[in-house]
Structure 1
Amino acid sequence: MSAMDKGVPRIGASLNPLETKSAPASHEVRDALDEFLGAFEAFKDANDERLGEIEKKLTADVVTEDKVERINRALDRQKKTVDELALAFARPDISSIGGGETRARLDPAKREHKRAFDLYVRKGEAHELRVLEAKALSAQSDPDGGYLVPAETERMIDRVVSDASPIRAIAGVRQIGAASYKKPFTTSGPASGWVGETEGRVESGAPQLSEIEFPAMELYAMPAATSTLLDDAAVNIDQWLAEEVQTAFAEQEGSAFVNGDGIRRPRGFLSYPKVANASWAHGKLGYLVTGNAGAFPMANASDILIDLIYSVKAGYRANARFVMNRATQSAIRKFKDADGNYLWQPGIAAGTPPTLLNYPVTESEDMPSIASDATAMAFGDFKRGYLIVDRLGVRVLRDPYSSKPYVLFYTTKRVGGGVQNFEALKLLKFGTA
């Protein structure tokens, strides 16, 4: 008997990164998606059976409850598999960087910098790189702080990290050349009103301005390589470096953008002061409560989701989305509307997010799970609500001494972030006040 016959969908295999651009990889993504959509149909059938038993007997059979939960957990695993396959397949082909075609398109200065950087990474010879950066008057690097990676490698690292970091993928992103980014905003505008054609005008007051600042904090990763790997001319150093740092950067960013305290890291949106939405004020994030500690409301649980949507002003709802972790999404997957339609719907194509009440759902494992007084769900326009600032330049410092026989590469980038529009984001608190 197959896994699906037992009520648990089969989980697809993960994809070898080396196969991401092949035709079999494309088929694997499609097959995993078809399997996931079939599993969701099995989940709906099992959940409908559970709801029918509750309606008839006021309680569901233990076997049925267990079946629903097993399929639900399997759905989560299958969804993760589909996401990983889609991400791997969509990932840019890093191996092309430095190849003949790309190299031919580089201007002589960039080609010279790339060659010098490759020589520094492989052999530790920094003279040419130091001369080039001194010639370019680079203030962002020095022998003690490392050297800037080629622009193409930096763009590749940023693209790969953007794909893997859920909040970065939906937030506003701005590149800066200074240590911090300052954004002015109006705390009170000039006086205004209606007047007749011949009536006197009251002189308007000047607008009151303030500013918010997003400092760029240093984020580092330290991949290690063997001398054999560095001596192998067939190894693409740009590809190796980008692949080694992407996971570390994405994981650290994902955590900081949600829960960071702003000390030596970006400030996450959940670290700002929170207040009941009826008492909202600038500088705080408004929240709605479920009225049931650690759970959704006992009756009409989906109504609170509609209230959360309409707590956001219309101007921000057009590009709004839900943000939650996998466990919260698993609980919501069982909700139905008055017509019996499921509120949560899977993405119809690989790489597209699922939807809840027709709004996209972004899955962030750094969001808290449902618990008493936890703000486990966020909703709003994150592109206008949360800003990420990237200081230009990724630096690499070669260290062949600290961990012999390995060569360490202390790789750093500067990233900041914080809420820039407190009206655009709202939270759902699983509590009573």
Structure 2
Amino acid sequence: MTIQQLREKISNLAAQANQLIADKGDQIWSPEDQAKFDNLATEINGAKAQIKNLETMRELEAEKFFNDATRKPQPAGGDVEISALVAVALYMRHGSNVNAEQAAAIRNAMSTTTPAEGGYTVPAEVAAMVIDRLKAFGGMRDVATVLTTETGHAMNFPTSDGTSEIGEIVAENGSAGSGDITFNTLGLPVFKYSSKQIALPLELIQDSAIDVVAFVVNRLATRIARIQNLHQTVGTGTGQPLGLIPASTVGKVGATGQTTTVTYGDLVDVKHSVNRAYRGNAKWMMNDLSVASLSKLVDTVGRPIWIPAVVEGAPDLLLGKPIAINDDVPVMAANAKSIAFGDLAQYTIRDVANSTTMRRFDDSAFALKGQVGFCGWTRSGGNLLDTAAVRLYQNSAT
């Protein structure tokens, strides 16, 4: 089976498992029901293990190709035909210490940049690796709308809250009343993010057993991912993106004494403080530590309102809506805006295409310590373009 076929199999099995849970409802499970569920779970885990094995083999084949490509003797005076990823690896491992043919291949794969930092704009394959890392870290890119623009020029978006607008009945031959729409504008500026310089041992970078591209990109992208997710969540909007939490309106404040807790009634109030038009695709977002505070809450008849995910990677449910975990959302504390609910896709992250750059440093500050320096840059921004779409729960001040 291919990886795609295995993923489809997992999706089908997961649907059967969830249907079994739904069918049983509050009934006590029979041994046969439990056995059926266990068999589905075993098949799911087996398919996931098979996917992991296939991906491991792909990585091994890619490493072999890399080693063969970088060690293969090239004909005198001939062009070096290597992939973009191999060219990036040559640059990372050796910097400018390559022959003329290899240098030409590196320039073809990685275009030079003009900023003061210098360096190279990375090829699409490496840029995709960076984006994948950004998605895997934090939580905002899992729920937000991601907009890619060709440039970083200023952009303003018209906004209007029409949730309270209604029509009218007009008498025969009567005139329609006036109902002008009020528009505002929200900016979506981009900012240049840096990983800061990192220092790595020269021996590690030159070790052919190391996937140097994945290693370095992971280090650089993880740092950028952390700061971007932080700003997209709680950014002030001054010199950085305006985050989801500061951009949203409080829908419910906890009663006195609820500095670190939330009640079932509070969550219901937050949910219904969001206009129904936005609740179809709505999600909860909170810090993982906050989930522990509400995982034992029950409704008025004693039923749990938090349902853990059965399928690995699927979200838990709270009052029937998915929970997105984001550890940059404040934990429950006095006055903390600790829970968000609504159509989180109304938060837009703006990336500038072809803005991911990288530079290797070989100057004395690194060389004297037997190290190589690397730094990465990319341009991104974010804002909540429809402020009516999300509401917050705020803990009590005392």
TM over 0.5: yes
Partner of 1:414: 379
Alpha-carbon spacing, 1:288–1:202, altered in 2? closer, same or farther (3 Å): closer
- Offset at 1:321? 1.2
Deviations 1:128-152 (A, max 9, x none): 3785489x7x7x5557332111211
- Offset at 1:118? 3.1
Within 2, Cα distance between the matches of 1:289 and 1:110?
63
Find out whether 1:256 has 2:219 as its counterpart.
Answer: no
Alpha-carbon spacing, 1:158–1:426, altered in 2? closer, same or farther (3 Å): same
Partner of 1:346: 308
Partner of 1:294: 258
Alpha-carbon spacing, 1:129–1:144, altered in 2? closer, same or farther (3 Å): farther
Among candidates 235, 245, 257, match of residue 210 of structure 2: 235
Within 2, Cα distance between the matches of 1:245 and 1:211?
34
Among candidates 112, 135, 160, match of residue 162 of structure 1: 135
- Residue 152 of structure 1 aligns with an amino acid whose one-letter code is E
- Residue 230 of structure 2 aligns with an amino acid whose one-letter code is S
Among candidates 142, 145, 158, match of residue 172 of structure 1: 145
Residue 297 of structure 2 contacts residue 304 of structure 2 at CA under 8 Å; is this kept in 1? Answer: yes
Name the SS of the counterpart of 1:376 in structure 2. Answer: strand
Within 2, Cα distance between the matches of 1:195 and 1:328?
51
- Offset at 1:163? 1.9
Within 1, Cα distance between the matches of 2:153 and 2:178?
37
Find out whether 1:212 has 2:186 as its counterpart.
Answer: yes
Name the SS of the counterpart of 2:356 in structure 1. Answer: strand
Partner of 2:123: 150
Within 2, Cα distance between the matches of 1:219 and 1:131?
24
Among candidates 333, 347, 351, match of residue 390 of structure 1: 351
Name the SS of the counterpart of 1:219 in structure 2. Answer: strand
- Residue 141 of structure 2 aligns with an amino acid whose one-letter code is R
- Offset at 1:122? 2.0
Alpha-carbon spacing, 1:367–1:394, altered in 2? closer, same or farther (3 Å): same
Deviations 1:126-177 (A, max 9, x none): 953785489x7x7x55573321112111112211220222111111111122
- Offset at 1:204? 9.2
Residue 378 of structure 1 contacts residue 426 of structure 1 at CA under 8 Å; is this kept in 2? Answer: yes
- Offset at 1:359? 1.0
Residue 161 of structure 2 contacts residue 388 of structure 2 at CA under 8 Å; is this kept in 1? Answer: no
- Offset at 1:263? 3.5
Partner of 2:91: 120
Residue 116 of structure 1 contacts residue 128 of structure 1 at CA under 8 Å; is this kept in 2? Answer: no
- Residue 313 of structure 1 aligns with an amino acid whose one-letter code is N
Alpha-carbon spacing, 1:180–1:355, altered in 2? closer, same or farther (3 Å): farther
Deviations 1:91-114 (A, max 9, x none): x8794768749x99xxx9995654
Name the SS of the counterpart of 2:141 in structure 1. Answer: helix
Alpha-carbon spacing, 1:220–1:297, altered in 2? closer, same or farther (3 Å): closer
Within 2, Cα distance between the matches of 1:318 and 1:375?
23
Residue 399 of structure 1 contacts residue 408 of structure 1 at CA under 8 Å; is this kept in 2? Answer: yes
Residue 274 of structure 2 contacts residue 389 of structure 2 at CA under 8 Å; is this kept in 1? Answer: yes
Within 2, Cα distance between the matches of 1:360 and 1:192?
34
Name the SS of the counterpart of 1:361 in structure 2. Answer: strand
Q: What are the within-5 Å matches in structure 2 for residues 1-150 of structure 1?
A: 95=59, 100=65, 113-125=84-96, 128=104, 132=108, 141=114, 144-150=117-123
Alpha-carbon spacing, 1:184–1:357, altered in 2? closer, same or farther (3 Å): same
Name the SS of the counterpart of 2:126 in structure 1. Answer: helix
Among all aligned residue pairs of Structure 1 and Structure 2, give the percentage whose two residues are the same amino acid.
Answer: 22
Q: What are the within-5 Å matches in structure 2 for residues 239-318 of structure 1?
A: 239-272=214-247, 285-295=249-259, 301-318=263-280
Deviations 1:181-202 (A, max 9, x none): 5243155999986656755678
Within 2, Cα distance between the matches of 1:375 and 1:248?
25
Among candidates 328, 332, 335, match of residue 373 of structure 1: 335
- Offset at 1:360? 1.1
Task: Using CA pairs under 8 Å that are at least 6 residues apart, name the structure with larger relative contact order, 1 or 2.
Answer: 2
- Residue 388 of structure 2 aligns with an amino acid whose one-letter code is E
Name the SS of the counterpart of 1:266 in structure 2. Answer: coil
- Residue 224 of structure 2 aligns with an amino acid whose one-letter code is F
Residue 138 of structure 2 contacts residue 225 of structure 2 at CA under 8 Å; is this kept in 1? Answer: yes
Residue 312 of structure 1 contacts residue 425 of structure 1 at CA under 8 Å; is this kept in 2? Answer: yes
Partner of 1:403: 366
Partner of 2:39: none
- Residue 216 of structure 1 aligns with an amino acid whose one-letter code is V
Alpha-carbon spacing, 1:121–1:288, altered in 2? closer, same or farther (3 Å): same
Query: Structure 2: 5+ residue runs without aligned partners?
Result: 1-47, 70-78
Query: Structure 1: 5+ residue runs without aligned partners?
Result: 1-84, 273-283
Partner of 1:82: none
- Residue 229 of structure 1 aligns with an amino acid whose one-letter code is L
Residue 120 of structure 1 contacts residue 129 of structure 1 at CA under 8 Å; is this kept in 2? Answer: no
Name the SS of the counterpart of 1:423 in structure 2. Answer: helix
Partner of 1:321: 283
Within 1, Cα distance between the matches of 2:250 and 2:330?
17
Within 2, Cα distance between the matches of 1:191 and 1:355?
33
